[in-house]
Amino acid sequence: MENFELMGKFYLGNEIDPATGKKSNTLVLYDSKDLTTHGMIIGMTGSGKTGLGIALLEEALMDNIPILAIDPKGDITNLLLSFPEQKAEEFLPWINREDAAAQGLSVADYASLEAAKWAKGLADWRIDGARIKKMRESVDFTIYTPGSSAGVKVNVLGSFRCPGDRITSDNELFLEKIQNTASTLLSLLNIESDPLSGREHLLLSKIFEQSWREGKDVDLPLIISWIQNPPFPHIGIMPTDTFYPPSERFKLALALNQILASPAFNQWMTGVPLEIGSLLHTREGKPRASIFTVSHLSDNERMFFISMLLNEIVSWMRLQTGTSSLRAILYIDEVFGYMPPVKEPPSKKPLITLLKQARAFGIGVVLATQNPVDL
């Protein structure tokens, strides 16, 4: 039978005869370079989108290609449920006790049954424990849970870091970074403010611009302080206090202070920073599988985090050299709501930028959805 362990070829299974439903001997090998022009997985609930996505990501990891996976539903964490030894003991912690009871089995016996079933099923597709072990050892797996200590925490609110010189020296890129960051922060407050005319947006943009031009990072205490006492006398040609009166600015500062004062948001201010380079590779250069599960977040929190992450990916991308090979994969397990055709959420602009430009930098974007109108 044909060999599927080929560098640059993702083994996705075998062709199925649609008439009989039986597996043929013809392999489905996907050229990884095709992902530099991106990919979409479309299908209704239960059609196997996530299963195909996981298979695609596993093959990328087999080729030492790092991944950033945004997991709105909590399913991509199943990447870590791969057991090289395929022993009952490995399955035991993940067994559903109710399922075992329904079959009249002890949890241990049910784990043995599941281990045997998975071993046989994988073997039918020529996947054994050695292949699983190679995948697990090739990559550093981490599950990040922004706003929660269930996994590895992410420091999102602690500091809006000053972008690198290559961005601050390019006026177009710099202004885009400022605009996207201001939009993202306002989304956390559920405030819709037009980038060209909204007072909240223009004030925050001015704060980010002044601080970053001085080479300084920005954090929430600084933003709150500068909203109340702006270090600039004008916004455009109008006096700041005329453009945005102090009493109105105080309402914005108060909304941000409530975030800062909330015990729940302490989780957003500690943890690893959103540094894309370190999320893709360890210090030793080992590729990472960085999975960001956000199913526990509210809609506003989810939009805020995903937009922040996408903006950081765009900024990191702009600092890389060009390549025609696949350097990394960004996978979003459900893109519904993040790139709608008739609205402009803060996630939409960086996502479209990635779809337009990431190819030149070797970043493949794979989007899954049951709502194709968003694409």
Residue of 295, 307, 336, 374 lying closest to 75 (CA atoms) = 295
- Structure tokens, 127: 């996947």
Side-chain-side CA neighbours of 94 within 13 Å: the count stands at: 14
pLDDT tens digits along 50-104: 999 999 999 999 999 999 999 999 999 999 999 999 999 999 999 999 999 999 9
Predicted pLDDT of residue 18: 87
Predicted pLDDT of residue 2: 62
Predicted pLDDT of residue 93: 94
Predicted pLDDT of residue 11: 93
The three-point CA angle 340-47-300 to 5° equals 35
Looking up tokens 């999320």 gives: 279
Predicted pLDDT of residue 266: 82
Positions in the chain short of pLDDT 70: 1-3
Name which CATH class applies to 31-81+129-156+269-374.
Answer: alpha beta
8 A C-beta contact, residue 200 and residue 193: yes
Predicted pLDDT of residue 263: 84
What residue segments make up the domains of the chain, in order of their start? 31-81+129-156+269-374, 165-267
Predicted pLDDT of residue 25: 86
